[in-house]
Amino acid sequence: MRRALVIAAVVAAALTLPTAAWAHAALLKTFPTASAEVDTPPTEVRLVYDEVVEPRFAIVSVTDAAAHQQVDGPVHRSASNPYELDAPLKHSAEGWYLVFWRVISADGHPVRGAFLYRIGPNPGPPPKFVIPSLTETAVTPGLISLRWLTFLSVMAAIGIFVLRTVIARPVVSRVPGTRVRALSIAFAAALAVALVATPIYVLLATAQFALRSFWSFGALIPLMDVSAFGRGYLRLELLLALFGAAGAAAIWLDRPERVHRSVAGLLSLWGALLAAGAVLLVPGTAGHAAQTAPRALSLVFDWLHLASGSLWIGGLIGLIVLWSALPAATRTAGLAVCVPRFSNVAFVSVAVLLGSGIGAAVIHLPTLATLWQTGYGKTIIIKASLLLAAMLVASVNLLRTKPALARGENAESAAILLRRLVSVEVVLVTSAIVAAAVLSSYPPPPKALASIGAPSATVGPGPVTEVVERNGYRVDMRVTPNKVAVPDDYTVRLTRNGTPVRGATVIATFTMLDMDMPTQAYRLAERSPGVYEHSTEALVMVGRWGLTFEVQPPGAQAFDVVILDHAAG
């Protein structure tokens, strides 16, 4: 009972914390500067990112008020800065221009953005540009399905191999008439699925990168190793083949009827385990774990999550295969040998899951509130719920079937219950892997959320009207028209018990949440009793902004009101 409670508590804690989250390429600097005025027409648009992006997958569009394209040539990487993409421009007339860009992050996720700039001292009011959608993600049914199938098959192959060569091996020597050949076949089947699914997944992702049809093989195949993501998963394919060869050699040399392994058997087993470890390292190096500081620690956490998950799901599938393959006369005796050994391995895996989950959370989670305030966090909750349900099912096996098999009391009925419960557990865990596939497609909560505090409301796009009660004060906030690169009016009406509060200090701070940009701060002037206003072009980029209103009433304690704003063009 004590061990069951420990397992449940450990898993619940680990699963309510996110694993290493994949973030996306951030735009650090632009020329022309967003919302800036330039005196002479620029010859090119320059975009500087926080990671190297591939120009062959990049789109940069510059259009005038009449939607005429101004880009005059292909996008290319700067010769002096690998983090910079340049797009040559035609000679442009005085007026406003919209820059729209789309790049592929090193982790294989599309990222978009848009901003305005103007040429000349008198360009007139900004026109109503039609800004393309900025919500593109890797959350598509095809990509999610293949991502799920790839990871499920890879993890299952590794877990089944460990079950066959390490955990279930003593069954043959201790229970006469038993074999583990079915586990070897299951390992080969899972590996075959992984070897087929991985290149198809890379091909489909490359089609999305290049905005081409999946069936354009002639154009897509040369591009599969162009992106860092594609190169990483093609390396995964090679390592899977190496693991398959090493695993096949280890199984062929193994004689499970003998208690002790031969030297050749030991060497081949360790070679296969090392190859499996290398396989599990690739997703982190091809994803954002390799882009997050401290890099080594992020990769370790990512690897530990995949390794513990592989032992869990692969072991569960292997137990079902073993149950079905063992002769009826020796089934309970074989399970009595294998199940306790697997239980011990699963217990260690849960402990590893806890440690790596906490470590990854410290690195990647900006605030605890983002767990329920963002789509990314809500997906974590769904995943955690599925896995917690699986652990509750597993606890029944731990408390009932394992002791019954060990004592030999009602062993046959215990074996049947084991199969049913493990089948339910497999369904729940594989469903959780679907949630994990969706999770890796979402951008994680921006770290800037940690600096602005807990938001009182989420608003936009469009005009903002929001009322917040704080410290006995009523704060009525308005932002109009709440559009990018135009003078927006910011109004705060401050009252207490229905009476306007005069002489307060109100400062508005603007923090861009989608890009790494400096914050801006402006003081709102009191235009009438209790009404504080300011007009400025603070929202210089389409996307999510954190607006913090710092209010200092006269002779009273200061307080902050934070709203999350989605600004559009």
In this predicted model, what pLDDT tens digit does every residue of 259-283 receive, in sequence order?
A: 888 999 899 999 999 999 999 998 8
pLDDT at 16: 35
Q: Looking at residue 171, what DSSP letter applies? A: H
153 shares a domain with 102 = no
Q: Which residues of the chain have pLDDT under 50?
A: 1-23
466 within domain boundaries: yes
Q: Looking at residue 399, what DSSP letter applies? A: I
204 shares a domain with 168 = yes
310 shares a domain with 245 = yes
Query: Of 296, 289, 282, 133, which is closest to residue 201 (Cα–Cα)?
Result: 282
pLDDT at 516: 60
454 shares a domain with 426 = no
333 shares a domain with 286 = yes
pLDDT at 22: 36
pLDDT at 257: 86
pLDDT (tens digit, 9 = 90+) per residue, 452-502?
777 888 887 889 899 999 889 999 999 998 887 677 899 999 999 999 999
Instruction: Identify the three-state secondary structure at position 291.
Output: helix
Task: Give the C-alpha separation, 100 to 116, whole Å.
Answer: 9
454 shares a domain with 432 = no
176 shares a domain with 50 = no
Which of 383, 410, 439 is the C-terminal boundary of a domain? Answer: 439
pLDDT (tens digit, 9 = 90+) per residue, 355-408?
776 777 667 667 777 777 666 777 778 887 887 888 788 777 777 777 777 666
pLDDT at 197: 95
The total domain count for the chain is: 3
Q: Which two tokens stand for residue 116?
A: 């305005």
Task: Give the C-alpha separation, 80 to 63, whole Å.
Answer: 27
**Using only C-alpha atoms, what is the Rg of the chain?**
29
428 shares a domain with 468 = no
280 shares a domain with 236 = yes
- Domain span including residue 400: 2-18+140-439
454 shares a domain with 418 = no
**Cis peptide bond N-terminal to 340, omega within 30:** no
423 within domain boundaries: yes
134 within domain boundaries: no
67 within domain boundaries: yes
129 within domain boundaries: no
Task: Give the C-alpha separation, 541 to 423, whole Å.
Answer: 50
Which of 408, 439, 470 is the C-terminal boundary of a domain? Answer: 439
Contact between residue 556 and residue 520 where contact means Cβ atoms under 8 Å apart:
no
Which of 439, 472, 496 is the C-terminal boundary of a domain? Answer: 439
173 shares a domain with 39 = no
For β-strands 505-512 and 520-528, DSSP reports them as antiparallel
Task: Give the C-alpha separation, 128 to 328, whole Å.
Answer: 75
470 within domain boundaries: yes
Check which CATH number belongs to the domain holding 453 and give it.
Answer: 2.60.40.3340
547 shares a domain with 488 = yes
Contact between residue 187 and residue 314 where contact means Cβ atoms under 8 Å apart:
no
Measured in whole angstroms, the distance separating CA 174 from the mean position of its chain's CA atoms is: 45
Q: Which two tokens stand for residue 468?
A: 């917040």
Check which CATH number belongs to the domain holding 64 and give it.
Answer: 2.60.40.1220
